Chains A and B, each alone.
Chain A
Amino acid sequence: MAGTVITITSGKGGVGKTTTTANIGTALALLGQKVVVFDGDVGLRNLDIVMGLENRVVYDVIDFVEGRCRLRQALVRDKRAAPGELYLLPTAQTRDKSAINPRQMVEVCEELRRDVDYILIDSPAGIEQGFQNALAPADRVFVVTNPEVSSIRDADRVIGLIEARGKGPAQLIINRLSPARVKKQEMLSVQDIVEVLATEVIGIVPEDEAILSSSNRGVPVVLNGKTPAAQAFQDIARRVLGQDVPVVEPQSLSWWQKLLGIS
């Protein structure tokens, strides 16, 4: 088995990289894949708390790199994502980005690759060493952006850097789209964003209030199924597996559609 490494990055902070990583990783495991979600944000780790696994972290990837544990010991198993297998590889909270370098990131992923189908790396914001670390082992790169000028500008810069490093073409995840506001012309549409970034879209995730309660509780939305964002993340996971799931811009429901229960 030679697993695929997918790095999830954005340039700008706060656009939903960690939520996206947690949910695509969990969705892939729910589809029967063997998956590691790997926190690339040394010193500001959050994938553990978003997934609700913060109390089970014993060792982290820095412990492995510095020889204090075996890689397997640093993996935290998440048993909620049957029938596949899902593991979290946490990072250190009390160190900084220099605690690991791109070569070591590649080595860690080479070791993981032998045993799993997918490794999803949650990149830190920015374009400095943490981003370079997260990019080094990548086979594919997903850039998360919001329909909002500053995150699109940063996404454009990051997409260029990914190309320059020979890791392109990146694929785009448009997160927190509000179809109702697009309809009212208060928000950039998917078409607007695609025209600016000229990058293939692998998923459109609608704004969904279930996301906040999911991170409050530490339960990724895909684990309880049916909300709009959960369905969008499940669709992305199917596309990752090569299934033909067309990318369509979510439409806002009119009052009579809501009344009739059409979705």
Chain B
Amino acid sequence: MGLIDRFFSNKPNAPSTDTGSAAAARQRLQFVLVHDRAEIPPATLNLIKDDIIAVLSRRIRIDREHVSVQLTYTENESRLVVDIPLLTEALSDAPGRARGSSARPATAPRPSSR
């Protein structure tokens, strides 16, 4: 620290030394509290994720890299949110089924009646 800096940093702590650590604290706390409240540690969630991938992969093709298994906590309710992108080919062996690129079952086109 130079002479000039030292002179002007008379305050106990220059704000520049601490930029953004409150944001880090908020993010880390949110994560750890949601796990504490649900009594499900992050490591267990990873095991659950592996299990889900294993079970689904026996039946359908999924994009393993982008599977997300997360805990959320809103309005006094803990919720396990699982998002599983399907590979496009996942629906291809069902004849008549449209090959939509959409991965979510809810939005997948229904089989035509032809």
Contact = CB atoms under 8 A, between A and B. Distances in A.
Interface residues of A, number: 22
Q: From DSSP, what is the main secondary structure of chain B's interface residues?
A: helix
B42 A55 contact: yes
Given A93-B36, A210-B17, A213-B17, A259 B28 contact: no
B20 to A, nearest CB: 9
A254 to B, nearest CB: 11
B107 interface: no
Nearest to B27: A216
B32 interface: yes
A209 B7 contact: no
Contact of B21 (A49, A94, A212): A212
B10 interface: yes
Q: From DSSP, what is the main secondary structure of chain A's interface residues?
A: helix
B12 interface: yes
Given A93-B36, A212-B21, A216-B25, A255 B1 contact: no
Interface string B39-59: 101110000000000000000
Given A54-B32, A210-B13, A213-B17, 9 more contacts: A55-B42, A57-B42, A57-B43, A58-B41, A94-B39, A210-B17, A213-B21, A218-B28, A259-B6
Interface of B: 1, 3, 6-7, 10, 12-13, 17-18, 21-22, 24-25, 28-29, 31-32, 36, 39, 41-43
Interface of A: 49, 52, 54-58, 93-94, 209-210, 212-213, 215-218, 255, 258-261
